[in-house]
């Protein structure tokens, strides 16, 4: 349970967070920077409660029409709905109106279960989007699976360690440490300890990376000495995984339109011991500087800008900051980027298209359209590519990961090979 002071801080955070005008994690980080005297436990309690409010926003909004304007009640509702607090436990911080509000909230349990938006904790726009492809039961299962928090997934940097040895070391410190189910270099921690000052993190042996993201790097399948392009590199999580595959040989071009994101890659490269990565900011997918690589790249990864709806465990606010209109715009952008990236692939080379979305219009539809428009490429079987690496995961021709079934973030990948110039 939150102390009165922690509750006031949480209400202040939610007053901004529940407007959904900025990413929730950015709102929280900025607030905590402005209040440096808050201790570790204060920060954890505030963060857990604030994100519980976002995860249970549909229910809260059903009984509280303007949650951002009544953020103290939103925080109290989050404690009851998302943090298993009984009303009696909160009695010392409640006034009569708040006690009545929470009682009314608890009384709505059957009503919440009867409505798909509150049962699945998904906004109406997203339910409509999903109904074109999924049954009501499947939508409910998806919503419930992403309403829980995510574990902490790690990747062992094979330039600096082996998973078995690193896992044994972590198990001495964290009893819940276990090998990731699919990714050959993955480790999972359910209790999510802070590792940013852990020796294995500081020396580059460990990187934080969702298991699904690690599997995308496996589909790239980089070899030593190759020319590789990470077309939308961002902060470089997959770039680093690809770099480890090459054993620090060849050349990896890490392109992105954001200098700020690429700036985060540079210290990570150094920590990982990688010297074969060239980060480069581009103005767009048609930047003239990309032309020098036309037809030369052995492998190109397009981790395309997307709705991010596969990452709702970590970013629950995304479903309120996206819309049908933003998805339509992203589909156009993805198509343009994939076409531009394809021009870099040599004959016999590989192109990997990936998103962290669960929407077919961003995934299978893009892959099928690409094959129709590019008869010089063929699709490769993702299941077969993973099996060749002794990864027992078969989701068909395309890689389609979902939280309920695989325990990862939601990811999609299609792999293409260029047959002719």
Contact predicate 290/255, CB 8 Å: yes
Q: Pick the closest to residue 28 from 260, 356, 409, 316 (CA basis).
A: 316
Does 409 belong to an annotated binding site? Answer: no
**DSSP structure class, residue 418:** E
Question: Alpha-carbon distance 74 to 67, whole Å?
Answer: 6
Q: Pick the closest to residue 229 from 336, 371, 308, 340 (CA basis).
A: 340
Helices then strands, counting H and E runs in the chain, come out as 20, 12
- Residues in the chain, how many? 421
Tokens 């460990």 label which residue?
Answer: 206
Contact predicate 172/166, CB 8 Å: no
Q: Pick the closest to residue 155 from 271, 60, 233, 260 (CA basis).
A: 271
319 SS3 class: helix
Does 256 belong to an annotated binding site? Answer: yes
Question: Alpha-carbon distance 284 to 191, whole Å?
Answer: 40
**Catalytic site residues?**
356
């Amino acid at each position: 349970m939150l102390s009165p002071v922690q509750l006031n801080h949480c209400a202040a955070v939610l007053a901004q967070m529940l407007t959904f005008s900025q990413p929730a994690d950015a709102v929280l980080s900025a607030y905590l920077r402005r209040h440096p005297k808050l201790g570790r436990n204060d920060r954890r309690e505030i963060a857990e409660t604030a994100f519980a409010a976002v995860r249970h926003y549909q229910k809260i909004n059903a009984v509280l029409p303007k949650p951002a304007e009544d953020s103290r009640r939103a925080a109290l509702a989050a404690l009851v709905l998302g943090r298993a607090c009984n009303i009696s436990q909160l009695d010392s911080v409640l006034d009569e109106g708040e006690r009545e509000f929470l009682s009314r909230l608890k009384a709505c349990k059957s009503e919440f279960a009867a409505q798909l938006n509150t049962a699945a904790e998904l906004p109406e726009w997203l339910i409509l989007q999903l109904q074109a492809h999924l049954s009501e039961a499947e939508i409910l299962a998806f919503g419930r699976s992403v309403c829980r928090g995510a574990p902490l997934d790690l990747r062992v940097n094979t330039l600096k360690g082996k998973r078995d040895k690193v896992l044994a070391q972590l198990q001495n410190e964290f009893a819940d440490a276990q090998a990731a189910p699919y990714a050959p270099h993955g480790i999972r921690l359910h209790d999510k300890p802070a590792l940013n000052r852990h020796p294995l993190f500081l020396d580059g042996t460990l990187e934080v990376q969702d298991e699904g993201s690690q599997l995308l790097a496996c589909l790239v399948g980089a070899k030593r000495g190759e020319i590789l392009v990470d077309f939308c590199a961002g902060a470089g999580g997959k770039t680093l995984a690809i770099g480890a595959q090459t054993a620090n040989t060849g050349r990896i071009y890490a392109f992105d339109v954001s200098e700020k994101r690429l700036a985060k890659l540079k210290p990570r490269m150094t920590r990982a011991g990688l010297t074969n990565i060239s980060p480069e900011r581009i103005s767009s997918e048609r930047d003239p500087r990309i032309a020098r690589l036309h037809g030369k790249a052995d492998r190109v990864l397009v981790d395309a800008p997307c709705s991010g709806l596969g990452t709702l465990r970590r970013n629950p606010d995304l479903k309120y900051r996206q819309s049908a209109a933003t998805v339509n715009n992203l589909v156009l952008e993805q198509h343009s980027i994939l076409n531009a990236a394809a021009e870099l692939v040599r004959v016999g080379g590989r192109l990997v298209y990936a998103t962290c979305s669960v929407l077919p219009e961003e995934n299978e539809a893009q892959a099928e359209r690409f094959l129709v428009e590019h008869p010089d490429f063929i699709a490769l079987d993702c299941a077969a590519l993973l099996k060749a690496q002794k990864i027992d995961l078969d989701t068909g021709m395309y890689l389609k990961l979902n939280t309920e079934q695989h325990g990862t973030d939601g990811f999609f990948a299609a792999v293409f090979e260029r047959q002719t110039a």
